[in-house]
Structures are given as C-alpha cells and as structure tokens.
A and B are shown apart, each in its own frame.
Chain A
Amino acid sequence: MSTNAQPGGRAASAPIMGHETEPTLFEMSVPHRSAYQLRTTGVPTRPLSEFVPAAHLNEDVVPIAEVSERDLVAHFTRLSHRQFSVDLGMYPLGSCTMKYNPKFCDAVAADPGLNAVHPGAPASLCQGWLEIMVTLEEKLCAITGMSAATLQPAAGAAGELTGLLLMRAFHEANGEDRRRVLIPDSAHGTNPASVTLGGYEVTTVPSNDRGLVDLEALKSALGPDVAGIMLTNPNTVGLFEEEITEIAQAVHDVGGLLYYDGANLNAILGAVRPGDMGFDIVHMNLHKTFATPHGGGGPGAGPVAVASHLVEFLPGPQAHRVEDGTFDWVAPPRSIGRVHGWQGNALVLARALAYIDVHGSDGLTRVARHAVLNANWLRHRLRDILPAAYDRVCMHECTLTATKLKQAYGVRGLDVAKALLEEGFHSPTVYFPLIVEEALMFEPTETESVQTLEALAQAVERIAQRAADDPVSLHRAPQSTPVSRVDEARAARQLIATADAAR
C-alpha cells in the first residue's frame, strides 16, 4: 500500500533540541533574588515567636531557590523542550494508551466552578460536583455493564487494590477465608503487587502458544481456596481471551470472583462489556480509555465498578442521587471505608465525563474500532521486519518481536526502540510482556492518521536498513536527543536523589 507519509508525520524537527545541560533551579539561585508577589492583607504582622514556642521554630532557614520570574519561566520552558509528549508526536507506548488528549476536557477542568471548590464543603454547596460524580458513575456502569462504582481510586493500581479489598470483604461476609488469587503470566506487574497488599498469595497461570490463558492449566490451579482471578481482556499481548466464558464459568464454579483489569478497556468500547463476560469487579484507567492527560506519570484515575452482589461493600462516602433531585454523600452499608484522602482525582473525573459526553455511544464505539484498525494495520505493515509474536488479528495493540533483527545483525528490541527516538517517534513498550522474546509492543491509538502510521513504518524500515549496514550505530542510538543513552547502573549504584546528595 502506498501512503503519503508527509502530513501528521514525525517529531524529529526543532522541538527536540537542547543538547546543552540545563542548570538546576538551585544552581541558578542568586541570594535575595525573588519572584513571588502576595496579596496586601492589612493583617497585623507579629513575629512567629509570639505564636509558637521557640523550641518549634527551625533555627536554620530552609533553602528553596532564589530566582527571578523571568529565569523561572526560561528554566521550565527549556526543560519542556527536553521532553517528548503526545502533543509533539506519535507515542505508541503499548499498554499505556497515549492517545490525543482533547484540549476541551482540560478547559472544562480548569473552570473555577470545578477547580476552586473545597473538597470539605457541605454537599449543598457543591451540588454540581456531586452530579458530575453520579453521572460519571452511571455512564461508567453502562459502558462496563456493572451496577455501581467508586470513583475514589487515584490510579489503576489503586483501583486494583480496592477491587481486591472488595473481593476480600465479599468472601469474609460469606464466612470464607480464601487465600489465593490467580494471575496470568502475561499480567502487568501491578496485579501481583496489589494481590500481596490485598493479603493474598499469587498463583501464576501460564499462557498457551496462542498467547492466551491456558484453560486447562487454569482449571488445575483452581480450588476452594481461590478468592478470584485478575484478568486483562484483551490481554497484555493485545489479544482477546476468546475462552472468557469458560474461564468465568470455571472460576465462579469454585466460588471465586473475576476481576477485570481495565488497562485495555479502550479496545472493546461498545463491542463487549466486562459485565457481560462474567466479571464481578472492574477497574478503569480513565487516563487511558477516556484520554485524560498522563501528566508525565500521573495523575490518573482508577474507578472501580462492581456487580450487584458487591455494591454494599464499596468505599464511601459515595455521591448519591436523592429522590428530590438533589445530591448527597452516603456510605454503603458494609463499606470497606475510604481509599482516598477525599473524593478521588476529581478533576480527572470531570475530564473523563466531558470526553464521554463529546463522544457518546457512537463516538466511543468508533474509538475502539479505529484503535483496533490502526493496530492491525501497523502489525500487517511491519510484518516483514518485526513479525507479530502471535500472528493473527490483534486488538488495540500489537506485540511484535525483534528476534529476526537480533539473529541476523545482533540488533535488539531496545536498539530499535532507541533508534525510533532519533526518528522522531516515542518508543513502543520494550520487553513487555515478559512472555515474549525481544518484545516491542506498539499501541498506535485511534487518534493517529494513516499518514503518521506510514511515517512510523518507514522509520522502522530505515532502522532495519541501518541494522544491515551499520549495526554498531544502533547500539549507540540515540544521538540526536537531548541526552544519549544514560548510565542506569551508575544511577542505581550511587543514589543521587537530590541536589544535596553526596557525589
């Protein structure tokens, strides 16, 4: 297929600049320089020593930094120029769903009617916020096929742990002490870490040669001590677990619950609902599926929706629609308690609701269909250089492997990932899932045009040519980025976590 690769293109031009090392704020600091300006209040000024005993006052001045506003702006602007982002170019980081984040949703969240509201204000004074929360909860339940949801968990992993505590509360309410939770060997690392914090032991279930849960192995791992299973579907390889009905049946037969890790929910919007697949508990990563910006590593939001038999255990307080049309807080009758200091990452929740409202049922369905189309197009386009680990239709992401380049030229997946940075693309996810050798997981997302996908494919072709011509240069890539490969071993050997650490 011939596709013009110009529009949309890549981010290799000017914005990736700045080979110069940027000084830290502390290195820029000059005594008595300042930027702050505060309100004139007329409040009587009295020394702190009149308020608190001298023993409480720090005899030393805690140094922050002393810079002018102009220098502050220059510093953080220069730092921003040393940073790749979705707004700059394609970011096909598999499993992370780095799609375009609509500016409108940010503008919604920046309204003082939302962002200047104190979280402890009485419900009567923040009815709009409670309505947003109730409305979002209802829509998330409709999308996932569940009965009710908590919006408190601040990220996916927080949602996982919340879900496991709900699982525990359910079994304990039935007078059962179950000890194990099953997890496929392809799962995200947060799953087993959450299981431990939930007070359970992990039993790992192997994948079969099709990249799916091995149903027979799963059945042999089941027993009356199994609290449940955590599954991602489509799984972390980007494949749909086709035997999900049989899996659900087997787990439910021993009294276990099914936990849906919503990391890949974006692939199935409008096509399949976790509730209809038999899941009892579902967490969603709003920053992935509903496109709230990832903030360089957060904030996210990880609401957890549950089937009817778990509603009474949900965290509280919960926004709730009262019969007279107003809104109030209620705690579910057998609530596990709070899992967040306040109501969750509220501004992220508002962004997600705006995203859902703009897309609606039709738009959300199209989101999933185009995401799957893009991943399959890219998988097929790259098949000669980076064949798929499992060669068949994938969902929203494709797990490719660099084994051919490794065998032929000694060029590894990591080298390809680093060379892509030089080509103006963010790398795919490297060496995950662990079950695939030399894995390169691409998640193009639905917001990239076919021209951009083609530009990425041509970049991979150039890298493959380089592998044949000059493989050593790929081990040294990237060179045109703000820094070249960093010495990670040195960072770990001698921790320098602050500007004040010994060097």
Chain B
Amino acid sequence: MADYLPHTDDDVASMLSFLGMASLDDLFAHIPDAVRLSGGLEVEPGMSEPDVAALFARYTGANAAKATAMTCFAGGGAYDHEVPAVVKMLANRSEFVTAYTPYQPEVAQGVLQAVFEYQTLVARLSGLPVPNASLYDAATALVEALNMAHGATGRQTMVISSGVHPHWRQVARTFARGTGHRIVEVPLRDGVTDWQSVDVTDVAAVVAAYPNYLGIVEDLSGAKALAVEHEALFVVGGDPVAAGVLKTAGQWGADVFVGEGQAFGTPLSFGGPYLGLFACSEAQVRRLPGRIVGETVDSSGRRAFVTTLRAREQDIRREKATSNVCTNQTLMAVTAAIQLGWLGTQGLREVATRCAQGAHYLYDELMGVDGVSAVSSQPFFREFAVRLSRRADEVISSMAESDVLAGLSVATLAGGDDPSIEDGIENVLLVAVTERRTKEEIDRYVELLKEALKR
C-alpha cells in the first residue's frame, strides 16, 4: 500500500462526520447499482516505488536501441542532438513542469513569457510573422495547416509532395476521413517533386518539404508557382535546424510553415512528446489553430503576456472553432526556447553546419563502398538515402549487433511502396548524421556497412 494521499483514517472519519456520513461508500450511494463495479479493479495491487523501479529496469534493459548504448544514425524527423545539462535542468524546473495552461495570467507570466520567446524564434526561423504556442507534433501540425487552407479557400483538395515525411502524409490521410479533404500525393523523380504531373482542380493547399524527408533540398519555386496558379495556400514542412542556414519558408513564399521541434532540446523519447511548430502569414491570423501568446500591459502599465485571440478557440467558439486543440506541448515549446537560447545565433548555425558536414563526409565515403549506390543526384543537407545491395532492414539488424543504429528502412517508414521512391524501396536506407557523430564513429559505420553487405 503505497501512494501519495495525505488523509489518515482519523482525517477521513472526521471529514465524513462533517458531511454527516458514516462511510466513503455513502458518497457513491447515488450511483445506480446496475453499473457499479462489484469485484474491484482487475489490476495488480499497488507496489512501492523501488519495486516499480525494478520492474522498469527490466523494460529499459530490453531497449537495446537507446542512444546511450548504440550510436545513432537514424533520423527521419527524430534526431540525436546535444542536449546540455543546463537545458535539462532549466526545462525540468517544477514551476514549468507542474503548471497548466495559463488561464490566470497574473500568476503565469513565467510560462507565458517563455512561450512568447519561443514564438519569436519560430517566427524568425520560419520567416513568417504569426506563430502559435505549439501543436502536438509535425504530423498533426500539417493537419492543422490543411484545415487552415480549407478555411481560407473553401476548397478541399490538398496537393502534397511525397517528399513530405510518410508518417505526416499518413496522418493527413487519417484526418481527411473526417474533414472530407482529398489528399493528392505528388511523386518524386530523382528525389525531387514532380509538380508538373499535378493535374487537379479545387486545390486548397500545396505542401512541400524543405529539405524533403530524404534530405534533399528541393527548389520550391515550382511548388510556389503551383500554389499561386490555384490561389491555394503554400505550406512548407521544414527542418527547423536546417532553417538556421537555409532560406526560410517565408523567403520561398510560404503562407504556412510546419515543422518538428524535437531537435530543439527534446530527447528522442521513442517519438513523443515532441513539438509541432506552426507559423503563418498575417492574412491567416484569424484561422490560427491552438493558442497564441500576445504582449500587453497590466493595470499598472507594466508589460505582461496573455493568451490572446481567444475567440477562435474551442472553449469559446465550440463547433465553429478553428481547431479542437486544447492541451498542446507547452513544456516542449519552453524547452525549445531554452535550448535555442543556449545555442544562440552562432550555435544553431554551427549545429546545422556540422550536421551537413558529417552527413556529406559519410555519404562521400559510402559512395566508394561496393553495394551502395545513390538514390538521387540532387543536393542534400543533413540526411540522405542510399540504395543497398541488400534489404535495408537486414542491414540495420546486422549493424545493430555492433551497437550502431544504421538508419531507417524507407520501406518500413513508408509502410511499403511509396511514390517517393521509384523502385526497390526495400533496399533504401535513410541515414542522418548529427553534430554529435565523430569522424571515428562515421569511419566505423563505413566498415560495419561493408561487412553487413558482404554477409
């Protein structure tokens, strides 16, 4: 019997007596017998913390892929970046961790200002002026962008590059079951979106990825032109680390930016909680999903922050709200502000540059290995796909025996064939290199891959 409840038996007895009751059962007496649970919950009895810790030690021991034990070359939207002690400790402050949505701004200036700083950074990295206070992850942020495009145009066809991460596209398809959106996926040719092949009408959004999920930096002017031609919103799904040095979504003419913010201080975490980045143009501000923090003053004229434009939100607008989002990923947004504050202007550029340098060093080495060939001739940034002489999932298993997570199988990621890969998807391996990978680790990777391909 272990728990966190303060009441002693005497407390319970005196509180019941105050209520004129004899037993805790009296508090539940109005619940009809027909629905009452008679035998108690069918879960194990409570255990002490040390006993539960021992149970969890078995789970953690069975996670061979942990990046502390296995050198991580996997990416695909989840990256093994440096997270320093200072960021972990600040982001774990219990004032940030154990608060809730800042409904009472007088006692929530800490979270509100941190989110305001986060919003500023998202706006700068996206090149778009109106960020929100966070969404669940990049995939669901894309869904919100599509809903915004429908609201802006009244149209339902969403033209999405298959260079957009396969999971994001899958999530978009799932939610289209409810909204009725038509999702049109545009194939890649040599790693680049074949916008010329698009022949549809009623277009609400044109969605491109930058870099695309295979790491390739596509020229987005064709996508922008298509959006302009159809008077559709231009949505760019971007890698926010690359955004530290590449042209911003805003510079490419985007109306909406979405991205995955995990790279900013959130560990790999088996996929969540992550951070959905979202920003849009001024023209779309009334259609913004979720919360937004704005600057104002208090009754004494002091600067203060508050959640604003609340009339769009579900608790006020109900079935006419711009989105159903309530709880979001605020702690990850605060974490991102702290991590970016730690990196600073130069540090973010340095991280982006080192990722690219590592990825290109590895790629160049791999191009000299028998059984490895290029998937695309196009320029890439910090992640790349290669075609192997063997199935990618087999190579990953083989290299894992030497404690290297070689990357991701594109076939597994995409759930089978995918318009992003023209043929032989089973043999395509997606490889990411972060600023944490050393030359020694990369050289070892090359040797291990050679061995794996010989087997």
Contacts and interface: CB of A to CB of B under 8 A. Distances in A.
A448 B291 CA distance: 30
Contacts, number: 730
A340 B327 contact: no
A118 B62 contact: no
B274 A341 contact: yes
Interface in B13-41: 14-16, 18-19, 24, 26-32, 34-37, 40-41
A369 to B, nearest CB: 5
A345 interface: yes
B174 interface: yes
B27 to A, nearest CB: 5
B35 A276 contact: yes
Interface string A255-267: 0000000000000
A321 to B, nearest CB: 13
A495 interface: yes
A85 B97 contact: yes
Given A34-B347, A116-B267, A82 B113 contact: yes
Nearest to B48: A358
A304 interface: no
A1 B49 contact: no
Contact of B381 (A51, A194, A342, A354): A51
A373 B66 contact: no
A52 B298 contact: no
A502 B338 CA distance: 24
Interface residues of B, number: 214
5 contacts: A72-B86, A155-B136, A196-B321, A296-B97, A482-B109
A108 B360 CA distance: 37
Interface string B44-71: 1111110011011111111111111010
Contacts of A492: 294, 308-311
A156 B27 contact: no
Contacts of B180: 199
A192 B319 contact: yes
Interface string A355-383: 01111111111110110111011001100
A164 interface: yes
Closest 7 CB pairs of A and B: A113-B60, A342-B271, A83-B110, A295-B331, A119-B271, A360-B46, A36-B347
Interface string B246-282: 1110010000000010000001111111100000000
A105 to B, nearest CB: 9
A408 interface: no
Contacts of A270: 37, 40-41
Given A125-B70, A129-B63, A484 B46 contact: no
B137 A342 contact: yes
Given A38-B354, A298-B134, A79 B37 contact: no
A16 B108 CA distance: 10
A486 B95 contact: no
Interface stretch (A17-25, A218-226, A397-405, A466-474): A17-25
Contact of A48 (B102, B147, B171, B353): B353
Interface in A63-119: 63-67, 69, 72-73, 75-77, 79-88, 91, 93, 96, 98, 100-102, 104, 106, 108, 111-119
Interface string B77-117: 11010101010001011111111111111111111011111
Nearest to A130: B62
B104 A417 contact: yes
B175 A118 contact: no
B345 A63 contact: yes
B273 A42 contact: no
A244 interface: yes
A45 B321 CA distance: 50
A195 B111 contact: no
Contact of A44 (B44, B97, B217, B361): B361
Interface string B413-449: 1000000000000000000000111111010000000
Interface residues of A, number: 207
A161 B62 CA distance: 33
A26 B114 CA distance: 12
Q: Which of A44, A51, A106, A364 has the most CB of B within 10 A?
A: A51
A449 B6 contact: yes
A55 interface: yes
Contacts of A21: 302-303
Contacts of A102: 4
A208 interface: no
Given A65-B344, A192-B319, A116 B67 contact: yes
A380 B52 CA distance: 38
Contacts of B65: 117-118, 121-122, 125-126
A491 B310 CA distance: 10
Contact of B324 (A63, A190, A374): A190
B344 A48 contact: no
Contacts of B200: none
Interface in A319-362: 336-348, 350, 354, 356-362
A88 to B, nearest CB: 7
B31 A271 contact: yes
A41 interface: yes
Given A48-B353, A169-B177, A296-B99, A157 B379 contact: no
Contacts of B356: 48, 51-52
A58 B330 contact: no
A63 B140 CA distance: 28
Given A373-B16, A501-B295, 10 more contacts: A43-B438, A62-B345, A116-B67, A129-B59, A142-B41, A276-B35, A341-B272, A483-B302, A497-B295, A498-B131
B385 interface: no
B423 to A, nearest CB: 22
Interface in B116-169: 116-117, 119-121, 123-125, 129-131, 133-134, 136-140, 147, 165, 167-168
Interface in A472-488: 476, 478, 481-488
Contacts of A55: 219, 247
Given A63-B345, A127-B62, A165-B177, A296 B111 contact: yes
A51 B361 contact: no
A309 interface: no
